[in-house]
Amino acid sequence: MTKLIGVVGAGTMGRGIAHTLLRANYAVSLVDSLPEALGGAQQAISSGLAHDVEKGRLNAETRQQAFARLQISAETDAVSQASFIIEAVTERFEAKAEVFRKLELYCPSTTIFATNTSSISITRLAAITGRPGRFLGLHFFNPVPVMKLVEVVAGVETLPETFEAAADLARSVGKTPIRVNDFPGFVSNRLLMPMINEAAFAVMEGVAEANAVDDVMKLGMNHPMGPLELADFIGLDVCLDIMRVLYDGFHDAKYRPCPLLEKMVYAGRLGRKSGRGFFNYS
């Protein structure tokens, strides 16, 4: 029988997760409180599945079947039949807490809850629910249909069988799960964000221009993308938020956000999405 997975949040990540699940034969119930987000997600998933046909990953028939397994809804209770639910709403504690409070009311106690948070404490979110043993982080990377890694984040109370179910799910959609424990930024952002932040300091202190900083990392360290181009891709506001989580979480000055990064965010220079960040995209 086709397994149903619930995905709450149909933005960049939620739609990518839904697409990845659908092409791996799962049925998906995708929820978002904004009708525009649901419409956009349906379109993006449809063209993503068409791209899979071009690349030979699906044929015309399996593409149609995959798309037919997608249900969308603006009501959170639409996911109540799913045995595994992945939350991918806005990166704010209260937004996520509201979703999990509702899910707790609608879902049987056996349902596993996963959050795709980049930085919020898994243990803190799990404590909102009555099932901290069946709660964990499942941190996918953008663009989800392409990126191989999933950080599987165990909170203090996460049960081994919950971890195994999540790792199996990740493997079944072609991803490589890596186990990490619940500390600010997990592994990925704890290493990546300080590098981006330090690159911003290098520009601020006049060590080099932004393109020179990026060229050093591309040509000397074989990085496919320089840290500042990557920061523009992620969004400078997102980078700043994650630096603040690291700084607040560790109380260590080595994570202090770079003042240039703060200034750029205040000026609305958020990177690709606003047309300007360390580089100009207009």
Ligand X SMILES: NC(=O)c1ccc[n+]([C@@H]2O[C@H](COP(=O)([O-])OP(=O)(O)OC[C@H]3O[C@@H](n4cnc5c(N)ncnc54)[C@H](O)[C@@H]3O)[C@@H](O)[C@H]2O)c1
Q: What is the per-residue binding string for ligand X in 17-36, x denoting contact by CB under 6 A?
A: --------------xxxx--
Catalytic-labelled residue, pool 29, 116, 118, 274: 118
Q: Using CB under 6 A, which of the segments 11-19, 151-159, 204-212, 215-223 binds ligand X?
A: 11-19
Among residues 59, 64, 90, 176, which is the contact residue for ligand X, using CB under 6 A? 90
The three-state (H, E, C) secondary structure of the chain, written as one string: CCCEEEEECCCHHHHHHHHHHHHCCCEEEEECCCHHHHHHHHHHHHHHHHHHHHCCCCCHHHHHHHHHCEEEECCHHHHCCCCEEEECCCCCHHHHHHHHHHHHHHCCCCCEEEECCCCCCHHHHHCCCCCHHHEEEEEECCCCCCCCEEEEEECCCCCHHHHHHHHHHHHHCCCEEEEEECCCCCCHHHHHHHHHHHHHHHHHCCCCCHHHHHHHHHHHHCCCCCHHHHHHHHCHHHHHHHHHHHHHHHCCHHHCCCHHHHHHHHCCCCEHHHCECCCECC
Site for ligand X in 95-124 (CB under 6 A): 95, 98-99, 116-118
Site membership for ligand X, residue 9 (CB under 6 A): yes
Binding status of residue 11 toward ligand X by CB under 6 A: yes
Interface with ligand X, residue 229, by CB under 6 A: no
Q: Which is nearer to ligand X, 36 or 252 (CB)?
A: 36
> Residue 118 catalytic?
yes
**Which CB sits closer to ligand X, 99 or 126?**
99
* Other Cβ atoms closer than 10 A to 217: 19
Number of amino acids touching ligand X (CB under 6 A): 26
Q: 25 vs 33, which CB is nearer to ligand X?
A: 33
| Binders of ligand X in range 184-223 (CB under 6 A) | none
Q: How far is the CB of 61 from ligand X (least distance, A)?
A: 30
Residue among 234, 236, 243, 246 that touches ligand X (CB under 6 A): 234
List the one residue out of 280, 260, 279 whose CA is nearest residue 211: 279
* 151 in active site: yes
Which listed residue (4, 5, 13, 21) binds ligand X by CB under 6 A?
A: 13
Is-catalytic flag, 139? Answer: yes
For residue 197, what are the β-bridge partners? none
**Which residues does the annotation mark as catalytic?**
118, 139, 151, 189
Q: Which residues bind to ligand X, rule: CB under 6 A? A: 8-14, 31-34, 37, 88-91, 95, 98-99, 116-118, 139, 141-142, 234
